[in-house]
Structure 1
Amino acid sequence: MQAVLFDLDGTLIDTAADFIRIIQEMCRQAQRPVVDAAHIRSQVSEGARAMVQLVYPELASDDPVFLAHRQRFLDIYAENIAVDTRLFAGMDELLLQLEAAQIPWGIVTNKPRALSESLLKALALEQRCAVLVCPEDVQHTKPDPEPMYLAAKQLQLDSQHIIYVGDHPRDIDAGRNAHMYTILAAYGYLPAAYRDDLAAWHADAIIDSVADLQKLLNSRLAHHATRAYSL
């Protein structure tokens, strides 16, 4: 292990509370049934379009009215990007441990760059993150391996020596397609259609908490340290 990359929402950072607040308020303003928080949480990784479809399921995604609601959602989110958003419990300690071991960590996300950068800045992570790859940086997003290879290139590392942690099948597919060691974060925003058979994702490992992730990375760190010493 020479670096660790994370998906953003639902893996590194717990952003669901802000999305839940915004979507439920949009429901109330539109005088529509308020969507259950758990349902909203399961759709976070699917992006803004999926969020807004929870409020307006009857509208086609290319309908001008739907696009206007989507833009309103994005504007509200951008203005209130980290009201209730936090690193997952225990994640800061894990990142500090990686930094102390001089193992760079970074992010490969399908979240737009402007929102990703604002979020990292709000949580004082922008200087700690070694690499940030967003959709604007590539022609093909996850599950294509292109963003993974770009992150590896920017880190000046072979992708085979990088761990990728994610909470969506496209994360695991992208990592596997780039020959990375993949970890499924089962504590994240698992899509309802995929959560019943996590083994089918074909991740190299499955963890249920950040504490489990830290234990797994510790074992990889120990192996890394042993190899470095022997060299």
Structure 2
Amino acid sequence: MKYKAAIFDLDGTLVDSLEDLAESMNAVLRRLNYEIHDLESYKYFIGNGIKNLVRQALPEESRDESIISGCFDSMLKEYRERCLDKTKPYAEVPELLDELTKRNIKLCILTNKADELAQKVVSVLLADWNFEFVIGPSVNIPRKPDPTGALLISSSLAIPPAEIIYLGDSGVDMQTAAAANMYAVGALWGYRTREELIRNGARSLIDHPLEFLKYL
């Protein structure tokens, strides 16, 4: 299959944002005298949006909606201020995006990161490349694994889903790609395990970003 477009997840796929997210949430937890978490734990909190991250980071006995809502607002405030402190593209990502651009592959990002923050991160750290779409959750675009965002990209580009390749690091990404009938490639440098990616429908797995090129 000759793919004409690529959809990427953002956190854990194109950029490593783990430390900034963890430090932001831990700052909220400290203020409330709750236990903080290590980076390894945050790998499993990330992927389903910041509100879900907040819910999982809170103690089980403190997960009522009023506390979650307050902590969510605090987390967003913290993260807005530090989302570019330590976040950076993974090694080989710039080279991958350069090569895809040379091959006239349309580049798109579909993320569960709040749209406002996704736009900020991409506009600063990935400003050298032209992304046709950078889409986070909104009123009209549900969070992944709902395939609405992926299918919107397909229809807007006038490229059939079967001609779009999808790269992500989580089971949610693999489910999204499968639901949209796109070729799902799992990124093993991200935050989740090989087993999770396979279990959720990865068609292929790669250890390094430039390996993505062999599918093109």
Q: Same fold (TM over 0.5)?
A: yes
Distance 1:145 1:31 in 2: 38
Alignment check: 8 A CA contact 1:14 1:88 kept: yes
Q: Does 1:70 align with 2:67?
A: no
- Equivalent-residue separation in structure 1 for 2:115 and 2:52 (angstroms): 19
TM-score, with structure 1 as normaliser? 0.83
Q: What letter matches 2:60 in structure 1? A: P
TM-score, normalised to structure 2, is 0.88
SS of equivalent to 1:83: coil
Equivalent positions of 1:172-183 (< 5 A) are 172-183=174-185
Please say which structure displays the higher CA radius of gyration: 1
Which residue in the other structure is 2:207 paired with?
Answer: 208
**CA apart distance, 1:25:** 2.7
CA shift digits 1:128-177 (9 cap, x unpaired)? 21212222163543222221110112222111111001122221111112
SS in 2 for 1:34: coil
2:58 equivalent to 1:59: no
Matched, 1:47 2:49: yes
Q: Structure 1: how far apart are the matches of 2:169 and 2:83?
A: 21
Shift of the 15–28 alpha-carbon distance from structure 1 to 2, 3 Å rule, reads same
Letter in 2 for 1:104: K
Match in the other structure for 2:169: 167
CA contact (8 A) 1:143 1:174 kept: yes
Offset of residue 22 of structure 1? 1.6
1:26–1:55 contact (8 Å) kept in structure 2: no
Alignment of 1:75-224 (within 5 A): 75-125=77-127, 128-136=130-138, 138-190=140-192, 196-210=195-209, 214-217=210-213, 219-221=214-216
Deviation, 1:51, is 2.8
Partner AA of 1:103 in structure 2: I
| 1:46 shift after superposition | 2.9
Partners of 1:172 and 1:184 within 8 A in 2:
yes
For structure 1, the residue ranges without an aligned partner over 5 or more in a row are: 222-231
Identity %: 27
| Per-residue deviation, residues 92-151 of structure 1 (Å, max 9, x unmatched) | 110011111111211011222211111112214286212122221635432222211101
SS in 2 for 1:184: strand
Distance 1:69 1:23, change over 3 A: same
- Describe the superposition over 1:4-60 as per-residue Cα deviations: whole angstroms up to 9, x where unpaired: 110111111111110122223333333333311211122121322333231443222
Whole-Å separation in 1 of the counterparts to 2:172 and 2:166: 12
What residue number does 1:24 align with?
Answer: 26
Q: Match for 1:25: what amino acid? A: A
Counting matched residue pairs gives: 213
Asked if structure 2 preserves the Cα contact closer than 8 Å seen for 1:49 and 1:61, the reply is no
Q: Structure 2 unaligned runs (5+)?
A: none
